[in-house]
């Protein structure tokens, strides 16, 4: 059992907390925020042993084993390195960092300190996507040729209330915010390294991306088309097409149900799930207990290939 502290109490932190508390091998021990009141209220809501209003206090607490970083994207790198320097294991919300060179630096630090580091891509670890991944591996739909995945939210059109950093040149835009979901999904389901990328994007006043599409060719011949947007209300779906059938899923990053089409018949794929964040947490703790410094599923190379698409 490992004690986890959530660093940063933005809107996603509540869902992360629920996911941690549902994990079998982890305990939500504390939270940390610059706001004393916010940290105290959060700790009271989730009945936590303690809370912190400074990183220094959090890092000095020897009972904190793992830090789950939920701070704004541009702060991730500095926070990761600081936590690792103080001998803490780290799970960092996507995107872990903004550039490949920063990614390499962070994983090198984790290896040097013998501490675990993982980018939190929940869609890779949900029970449904783990099941679909296994079905593809077993050849249930035959040889896969095409993967389609898209995630869109009309944030910019509706002027939805989001943090100001979402609209900054560094770490802002829909690709870093939600585009990482279809990229991570396609990479995971393709079960192969990327060979070629064609990315097109539309920027707001030449600053942050508001719409993007990419075609990805993998070494095993599978092709993927991914799309993401803050200005178009697209369906948030994923489709995987094989020679013997296909798999289709709405809200693929958090769903518990998908549809298998095979031999002209429709079959439901169903799983149970307490929280879409639990799978990634349990996987990380299992890796830590085995003495790993990175995940074999979502390690340096997996995170690098996600950034490879964004940076192309």
Confirm whether 307 is domain-assigned.
no
* Domain around 236: 127-272
Higher pLDDT residue, 268 or 234?
268
**65: confidence class by pLDDT, cuts 50, 70, 90:** very high
pLDDT for 127-164, tens place per residue?
999 999 999 999 999 999 999 999 998 766 565 556 66
Q: Are residues 66 and 148 in the same domain?
A: no
Residue that is written with structure tokens 């593809």 in the block: 136
Using a CB cutoff of 8 Å and minimum separation of 24, what contacts does 49-53 make?
52/5
Tell me the two tokens of residue 166.
Answer: 């979402």
Q: Are residues 142 and 106 in the same domain?
A: no
pLDDT for 158-209, tens place per residue?
655 566 667 777 778 889 999 999 999 999 999 999 999 999 999 887 788 9
Compute the distance between CA of residue 7 and CA of residue 86 in angstroms, rounded to an integer. Answer: 14
Tell me the two tokens of residue 23.
Answer: 């994990």
Q: Are residues 92 and 28 in the same domain?
A: yes
CATH code for the domain of 268: 3.30.360.10
- Decide if 61 contacts 83 (C-beta within 8 A): no
Residue that is written with structure tokens 């962070």 in the block: 106
User: What is residue 153's predicted lDDT score, i.e. its pLDDT?
Assistant: 87
Q: Are residues 88 and 178 in the same domain?
A: no
Confirm whether 308 is domain-assigned.
no
Question: What is the arithmetic mean of pLDDT over 6-35?
Answer: 97
Compute the distance between CA of residue 183 and CA of residue 247 in angstroms, rounded to an integer. Answer: 17
User: What is residue 232's predicted lDDT score, i.e. its pLDDT?
Assistant: 86
CA torsion angle 170 174 177 182 (round to 10): -130
Residue 223 φ/ψ, nearest 5 degrees: -110, 150
- What is the longest distance spanned by two Cα atoms in the chain? 60
Compute the distance between CA of residue 57 and CA of residue 26 in angstroms, rounded to an integer. Answer: 21
Question: What is the arithmetic mean of pLDDT over 62-78?
Answer: 97
Number of structural domains the chain divides into: 2
């Amino acid at each position: 059992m490992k004690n986890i502290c959530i660093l940063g109490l933005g809107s996603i932190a509540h869902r992360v907390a629920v996911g941690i508390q549902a994990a079998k091998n982890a305990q939500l021990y504390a939270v940390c925020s610059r706001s004393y009141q916010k940290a105290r209220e959060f700790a009271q809501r989730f009945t936590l042993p303690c809370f912190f209003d400074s990183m220094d206090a959090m890092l000095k607490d020897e009972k904190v084993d793992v830090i789950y970083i939920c701070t704004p994207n541009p702060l991730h790198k500095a926070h990761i390195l600081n936590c690792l320097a103080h001998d803490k294991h780290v799970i960092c919300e996507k995107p872990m960092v903004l550039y490949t060179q920063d990614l390499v630096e962070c994983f090198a630090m984790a290896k040097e300190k013998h501490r675990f580091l993982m980018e939190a891509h929940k869609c890779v670890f949900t029970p449904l996507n783990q099941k679909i991944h296994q079905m593809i591996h077993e050849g249930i739909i035959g040889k896969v040729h095409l993967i389609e995945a898209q995630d869109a939210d009309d944030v910019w059109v509706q002027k939805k209330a989001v943090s100001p950093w979402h609209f900054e040149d560094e770490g802002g835009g829909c690709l870093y915010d939600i585009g990482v979901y279809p990229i991570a999904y396609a990479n995971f389901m393709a079960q192969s390294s990327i060979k070629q990328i064609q990315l097109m994007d539309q920027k707001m006043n030449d600053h942050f991306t508001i719409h993007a599409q990419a075609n990805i060719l993998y070494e095993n011949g599978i092709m993927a088309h991914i799309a993401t947007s803050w200005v178009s209300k697209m369906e948030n779906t994923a489709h995987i097409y094989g020679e013997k059938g296909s798999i289709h899923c709405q809200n693929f990053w958090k769903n518990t149900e998908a549809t298998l089409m095979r031999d002209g018949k429709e079959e439901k794929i169903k799983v149970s799930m307490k929280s879409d964040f639990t799978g990634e947490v349990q996987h990380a703790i299992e890796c830590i207990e085995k003495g790993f410094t990175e995940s074999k599923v979502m390690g340096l190379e997996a995170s690098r290939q996600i950034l490879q698409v964004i940076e192309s």
